[in-house]
Amino acid sequence: MSPSPSSADQATSLEAHLARENPLLLEPLAEFRRLDKIAARMHLLAGDASFTRRVPWWPVISLLGTFSAGKSSFINGYLGTDLQRTGNQAVDDRFTVICYGEDAEPRTLPGTAVDADLRFPFYRISGEIEDVAAGEGRRINNYLQLKTCHAERLRGKILLDSPGFDADSQRSATLQITDRIIDLSDLVLVFFDARHPEPGAMRDTLRHLVSDTIGRDDAAKFVFVLNQIDTTAREDNPEDVVAAWQRALASSGLTAGRFLRIYDEASAPPIADEALAARFKAKKDADMDELHRRMTGVEVDRAYRVVEMMTTAAATLAGNDGVARLKALLGRWRRHVGLIDIAVLVPMAVLVIALGIVYRDVAGGLLSAIVNLSPGGMALLAVAVAVIAGVHFVTRTLVAQRLAARIAPASQQVFGLDIRRAFARNTRWWRSIFVLQPKGWGWLARRRVTRIRGKHEAMVRRLNDRFARPSG
C-alpha cells in the first residue's frame, strides 16, 4: 500500500534533511525503505508504518532519573539559558523534547507536534500509549511537549528531559515512553540525587534504570550521574555517600560503566573549607568535561548506530522476531489443522465403510450411482465434498483464531512488526495449507534482505573514511 500524501511529504523532508546535514545516511535510508516494501507486502507492517519511523535520524540524548535529581538544572547550564523550570518538587510531569529553534525566544508546543512528525523520536507514540493504557493515547499532550531553544549546542541533536521517574499516576504509559526513548537514544544520562542518599527505597527505579539496562548490547551509552554532590561536603565523610550509591548500583547489577559526580556551581552554596572546595570543583570539572564530550560525540555515534540499526532491522525481519516466527506459527497451524482433519475424517470414513458392510446392497447402489454419474449420485458426492470441505475450513479458521489470540500486538514487537496481522493474511480461506513460504517471502525478497545485511561493513568503511583514517 502506498503511503499517504502526508507520509510522503514527511519522507521527502527527512531525505532533504539528510542530504543537507549527513549525506552518508542517505544510503541506509534507502535500504530501510526497501525493507519497508518487503515487510508491507508480507503484511508485517501496516500500509502507513515504516522502519524509518523507529530510527531517530537526529542524535538523541535523554536524561532520566528521579524527582529533584537536577536534570532541569543541568539542561539549563548546558544550554546557557533558563529553559526548564527547576525546584525540589516535581515541576514538570511531562516528557520534554528540546530541539534547536531559529527564534531568539523559546517556544513551547504541545505533544501533538512531536507525535505527528516522523523526524522526532516520539512519532505516533500515542498509539503505543493507547496499547498499554486504554484511552490515554488521545491525551498525548498530558505526556509530551516540545520546546525550542536558540542554543548552538542544540544544533543537530535533540535533548529529552523526562519527568521524575518514581511516583506517577500514569505509570504504565510513562514506562512505555521511557522504554521507547531508551531504545532510541544515543546517550542516556541517568541522574540520581546525592541529597537523598536512600537508594534502598528506590528499588523499582534502580531496577528499571539499572538492572534492565546492563544486559543490553548498547549498555555503553548509559552514564550514571550523581548530582548535587557538593551537599556531601558538609558530611563527616562525603565518600560514604558516594560509596552508598555505588553499592546500591552494584546490588542492582551494575559492576561496570561510568559513574560521574557533578553539581551546579552557580546555584551551589559555597564550601567553607577551601582545600575541600578545590577538590570538589576539580572532580566536578573533570566529570562535567567528560559529560560534554559524550554529548558532543553523539552526532558521530548516530551515523554508526543508524547503520547498525539497518542491519538489525534486516536481521529482525528475517529472524525469530519476523519471518522465522511467522513460519513457525504457520507450521503449527498446518499441523493442528492436519491432525484435526485426520481425527474427524478418518472416523467418518470408518463409519461409511462400516455402514457399507452392514447395508451392502444400499451401499453398492450408492456407489454404482456415483460411479455412473447419475443425478442422484452426483448430488450425494457434492454433499460429501461439501461436508468434508466445511469441516476443514471451519477447523482451519478456529485454529488460526486461537493461535492469533496468543500473538502480542505490533507495539510490543521489535521494530513494530505485526506478526498477528501477517499470520491472519496467510491463513485466509483461499490460501492453500500446503504453501510453505509466507506471502511475499519469495526468493527475490530473501535475496534483497540478505544483500542489505551484507552492506554493513561497506557502509562502516565509508563512515570511517569520514571520521577516522586508519591509514594515516
Residue-wise pLDDT for 283-322, tens only, equals: 888 988 999 998 988 888 888 888 988 999 999 999 988 9
pLDDT at 7: 52
- List, in order of start, the domains of the chain with CATH numbers: 5-318 (3.40.50.300), 324-441 (no CATH)
**Contact assessment for residue 277 and residue 229, using Cβ atoms and an 8 Å cutoff:** no
C-alpha triplet 405, 408, 411: angle, nearest 5°: 135
In angstroms, the CA 201 to CA 149 distance is: 36
Residue 1 pLDDT class (50, 70, 90 cuts)? very low
Residue 225 pLDDT class (50, 70, 90 cuts)? confident
pTM of the predicted model, to two decimals?
0.69
**Contact assessment for residue 29 and residue 12, using Cβ atoms and an 8 Å cutoff:** no
Name the residue with higher pLDDT: 127 or 2.
127
Alpha helices in 117-258 (DSSP H): 125-132, 171-184, 203-206, 238-251
**One-letter amino acid identity for 444?**
L
**Contact assessment for residue 427 and residue 16, using Cβ atoms and an 8 Å cutoff:** no
pLDDT at 278: 85
